[in-house]
Amino acid sequence: MPHMHTHESHPATIKRLRRAGGHLASVITMLEQGKPCLDVAQQLQAVEKAVAQAKKTLIQDHLDHCLKHMVESSGEAKGSSLEEFRLITKYL
């Protein structure tokens, strides 16, 4: 079974992503109903912004946790934290 990995910010991130999911569903409905492109673009912007903010919050929180763990660790655990830090930065 995979290790459960949660941060304090996860509930707020989940809420933000659910809201983005609602906006995305709205965009699909708008396109199906032939709504004006300007209105659809505004909704897409809201989806994009919400997802980007969720990603930013998740990564920042993880980096804070990862750095703290790296400072407190030694040996192999420190190397593992450093590698995880390196890997997640590609999503910035």
Summarize pLDDT for 14-40 with one digit per residue, the tens.
999 999 999 999 999 999 999 999 999
Q: Is the pTM of this model over 0.85?
A: no
Give residue 2's pLDDT.
Answer: 53
User: Other CB atoms closer than 10 Å to residue 77's CB: what's the count?
Assistant: 12
Instruction: Give dist(CA 32, CA 14) in Å, integer.
Output: 27
C-alpha distances in angstroms, 35 versus 26, 31, 76, 79?
11, 6, 56, 53
Superfamily of structural domain 10-91: Metal-sensitive repressor, helix protomer (1.20.58.1000)
pLDDT in tens, 71-92: 777 767 667 777 887 888 888 8
Q: Give the domain ranges of the chain.
A: 10-91
